[in-house]
A and B are shown apart, each in its own frame.
Chain A
Amino acid sequence: MSDGKVEEEYAIIRQVLAGDAEQYAALVDAYKDMAYNIAFRLVGDADAAKDMAQESFIAAYNALKDFKFNSRFSSWLYRIVVNKCRDHFRADREHVPVDEVCDFIAGTDHTPEQAASCRQTGDAVQQALNGLPPDYREVIILKHIEGLDYQEIAETLGVSVSALKVRAHRGREMLKKLLEGMGVAL
């Protein structure tokens, strides 16, 4: 993102802070797809993702006075979306069918019918992502779907780069087994 774009966003934020709330729509428009996509990939459910993304924008708006004008709004929003999704996991652990998908890792508990059903979902990658522990899933999504570098992810998640690389490494290994277990050709 260019410095001009960042300054443009700072100007919008200052206008919102000065009382012109309507200006916030420009920021929502600019980042709604990003926020929704991350939320969807993290929680694996369209309705929950919409709620998480909307809640994130509202939380960002309510905390806008705390925004430090030394980072990008998008980085700040990434962190809020991830935290909202973490809260969602804590509140509703059964929502993500981790156990069901993780059965594929062992490779012994699933039936051919289950594997066929999983393939028929049309989004094996999402099914596999759902099977990852949340810490691994966050890194894989931010790194390989959102295209952030490790430094940006470290700032977003508050975790060291070396720790993130370990999570990414293990996450990819788990994804490989999950996708192979679902019959996805790699």
Chain B
Amino acid sequence: MKDGGNIENESIHRLLDGDLEPDEKKRLIEQVRSSPVLQEEFDALDGVVRAVEASERMAAPPFFTAAVMRRLQPKKAAWGTRANDFIFKGRMLRWNMATAFAATALVALIFAFAVRTRNAPMETAMLGQQEPVVNVTMRLHAPEAHHVAVAGTFNKWKTDSHVLTKQENGVWTISLPLKPGEHSYMFIVDGKAWVTDPNAEAYRDDGFGNQNAVMRVSI
């Protein structure tokens, strides 16, 4: 009998595949039983299927899973997952004495820096408290002037940092917080003329042929 060469042979394969309807199956079985040739064909094909189905199922060799896992490349997780793991996932730290000493030194350094930084503003504040300032008002009568500034030891002789305000009576005034002590100063009128305060309580030669005004501040 050739491969698939007749209807009965085809039906046997359909039977083996479970594709026959009950009445078709019954009719085929009757045909097979009545024909030694068909019976032999059916037995042989059924035997093939049984032999294949009964063949041993091969188990994977030992350490199969470990061998696969060793060859896997770690997957890159999503950014959010990685960030979450970085923050919250527990991890083991490897260390040795060298890294321990280095870490200890680093912590000590950070601590010392923190203490120093924390104390610095306190020292400044204390200095501020130890050296209080006194508000002093300076005056210059210059009704014709358009601009008057004052320069002195208290502002390192800057000619534009402290500008006086003109009053209605032609007097220019400015109030400055000065530390107690002696301060030399001069007015600069209209940005060019250095004028000595005519009402200063003292004067000192500036070494350039002019007299600096001197103010003594005390608490």
Contacts and interface: CB of A to CB of B under 8 A. Distances in A.
A173 to B, nearest CB: 4
B20 to A, nearest CB: 13
B48 A175 contact: yes
Nearest to B84: A18
A54 B69 CA distance: 10
A144 B75 contact: no
B156 interface: no
A186 B52 CA distance: 11
B81 A19 contact: yes
Nearest to B50: A186
Query: Which of B16, B60, B72 has the most chain A CB atoms closer than 10 A to its own CB?
Result: B60
Interface residues of A, number: 50
B207 interface: no
A179 B51 contact: yes
22 contacts: A18-B81, A28-B69, A33-B58, A36-B58, A36-B64, A37-B58, A41-B58, A49-B58, A53-B64, A58-B72, A61-B72, A62-B73, A144-B49, A144-B53, A168-B13, A170-B3, A172-B13, A172-B16, A173-B3, A173-B45, A176-B47, A185-B47
Interface of B: 3-4, 10, 13, 16-17, 19, 43-45, 47-49, 51-53, 55-61, 64-65, 67-69, 71-78, 81-82, 85
